Amino acid sequence: MTSSSAGLYSRIEALVTASARILIVFSGFLLISAILITCSSITGRALTPIGLSAIPGDYELVEILCGLAVFAFMPYCQLSRGHISVDLFIQGLGPKAMAWTQLLGDVVMTGLVTVMAWRHFAGTLDKHAYGETSFILQIPVWWSYAVAMILLALFWLTSLFTVWRDVVALRTGSFDDHSASGGEQA
């Protein structure tokens, strides 16, 4: 790899890594919010005799928050090779064979994410066109679909980067921790 392409690769890698880490924090924030809503609502139900009550639409809010948390987590999972893999037989063939199987897996994942994004986009347009809302809070359903679409696009870009990372590793013979060991090193 030339020095200019290595510089471009390093900059993009830093950007993708930073984005994935920011999304992990966002995902954690969403899950903590869902926990707080759930705990507050349960406490309110338990204390109804003294004048408190459950949070209206708590199920809807928790559903939205947890769904978005999953989408926000996926880029980091892809980047750090957190998806399930079975390398029992491949590990014995050496790092180059591992790199090839990881490239294949990342290409397949990128294809799956492409199909998911395409169908999710169509679903977002449908939800917007029909004006569907949540039952209790009347939140337009397309809002959460649109946020999930942005997160899915970031997952797709991360998947494209992992394919590039695998190709670079195979071309340069540098089977580092990302491309050969199956996990991110701190």
The average confidence (pLDDT) of the chain is 90
pLDDT band of 182, cuts 50, 70, 90: very low
Residue 40 to residues 50, 56, 62: CA-CA distances in angstroms?
15, 11, 12
Given a cut of 70, whether residue 139 has pLDDT beyond it is yes
Token pair listed for 43: 């406490």
What band does 184 get if pLDDT is binned at 50, 70 and 90?
very low
What are 104-124's pLDDT values in tens digits?
999 999 999 999 999 999 999
Among 53-62, 68-77, 176-185, the range scoring the smallest mean pLDDT is: 176-185
Task: Mean pLDDT check: name the lowest of 14-23, 43-52, 62-71.
Answer: 43-52
Confidence of residue 186 (pLDDT cuts 50, 70, 90): very low
How far, in Å, are 13, 109, 110, 168 from residue 163 at the CA level? 12, 9, 8, 9
* Angle, helix 141-172 to helix 58-79, in steps of 10 degrees: 10
When comparing pLDDT for 176 and 30, which is higher?
Answer: 30
Residue 114 has what pLDDT? Answer: 98
pTM: 0.87
Mean pLDDT of 12-21: 97
pLDDT beyond 80 at 155: yes
Label residue 72 exposed, middle or buried (CB < 10 Å: 0-12, 13-18, 19+).
buried
What are 46-69's pLDDT values in tens digits? 888 887 788 999 999 999 999 999
The reported pLDDT for the residue numbered 53 is 84
